[in-house]
A = this chain, B = another copy of it.
Amino acid sequence: MNYLCASKSENAYMFKIECRDKESMARTGILKTAHGDIPTPIFMPVGTAGTVKGILQRDLMDDIDAKIILGNTYHLYLRPGTEILKAAGGLHSFMSWERPLLTDSGGYQVFSLTGNRKLTDEGAHFKSHIDGSSHLFTPENIIDIQRIIGADIIMAFDECTPWPCEYNYARKSLSLTHQWLDRAIIRFNETDPLWGHNQFLYPIVQGGTYEDLRKISAEKVASAGLDGNAIGGLSVGEPPEEMYRIVEIVNEILPDDKPRYLMGVGTPVNLLEAIDRGIDMFDCVMPTRNGRNGMLFTSEGTINIRNRKWIDDFSPVDSESPSLVSRFYSKAYLRHLIISGENLGAQIASIHNLAFYLKLVGEARKKIEEGNFRKWKISMVKKLSERL
């Protein structure tokens, strides 16, 4: 027997591990939230401004079977703004989404505003990408904003360092991120949820690709004893091997009985390799953003639907897809829509790719339960790396 299914979670309310793979650090679990249980490993579609781009909530549930989606604090703070979100009773109500939500803290977005932001100990001064207006994010007001948004899982404010990043910059940045974490936890503990349901705060491990910094950060984050932990600052340009190396180092330190969330990752192969290394949660714009450009993920490999070879291929986009949409439309039709710049093409490709990602993590879960994850992963990584 090369697997083990049992609960090892100390906090059964928040996260319960169900099965462990004996050949890897992969595991399955159930993440409990007020808006429903989330089977892990899980992929979370990105709904930046309160919408997964181009997809009806109904299709997110029925076609894609999204268990949890993301919102982004930076975008939601700017539009529609906290006043409207408060009047609506939070984001769940505002966007008519009854399943779980997670909000990113805005750190990644603010630090992408190169030239339009300034860092101080207090927080991050930045100018809106919409109208140039000036704003300040602090670890405290990021908690306050996320209380208003009301996501089930909220993130501590951090600085996401770029790649490559000089050691001294990464070290100083990490120190600030850790100070901000302390302040975020204080604010989180002294405030209450606004909408009658519990919220969980996740801290974020940073430290670039520096092993010593990542270890320091993982120790810091682990010692906070929160209900889940995230790894940020990866998939920002570094080679995948670097990302896997850092994930291994960090996951040796992060508590085993809490969910581990690898932020902003990644390709289907990245997901499988990270699940192998003990990651439970993922989010990434890749399935939607690349889908809009005509890149389709399938279990046989990647399709660039713009390629001329699909021009008269009237077979379904993906006959193996759980999504009706992928089985309903042909590759030739989807190619026509994408080439013609028709929004329906972006919609079909986004639905297809998200359904594929959800199916992939669901299969990983099943393979872990069956005790043959490693073997399946190796064969899948090979197939997923193909260009069709």
Contacts and interface: CB of A to CB of B under 8 A. Distances in A.
Interface of A: 49-59, 79-80, 84, 87-88, 93-96, 311-312, 314, 324-325, 328-330, 332-333, 336-337, 339-340, 342-344, 346-348
B347 A56 contact: yes
A324 B57 CA distance: 12
B347 A96 contact: no
A299 to B, nearest CB: 22
A143 B105 CA distance: 59
B347 A80 contact: no
A339 B56 CA distance: 17
Identical copies of this chain, number: 2
B336 A84 contact: yes
Nearest 4 A/B pairs, CB to CB: A54-B343, A80-B336, A51-B344, A87-B312
A81 to B, nearest CB: 9
Contacts of A342: 49, 51, 53
28 contacts: A49-B336, A49-B342, A50-B333, A50-B337, A51-B344, A53-B342, A53-B343, A53-B344, A54-B344, A55-B344, A56-B59, A56-B325, A57-B328, A58-B328, A79-B339, A79-B340, A80-B311, A80-B336, A84-B312, A88-B330, A88-B332, A93-B314, A94-B314, A94-B330, A94-B332, A94-B336, A95-B333, A343-B343
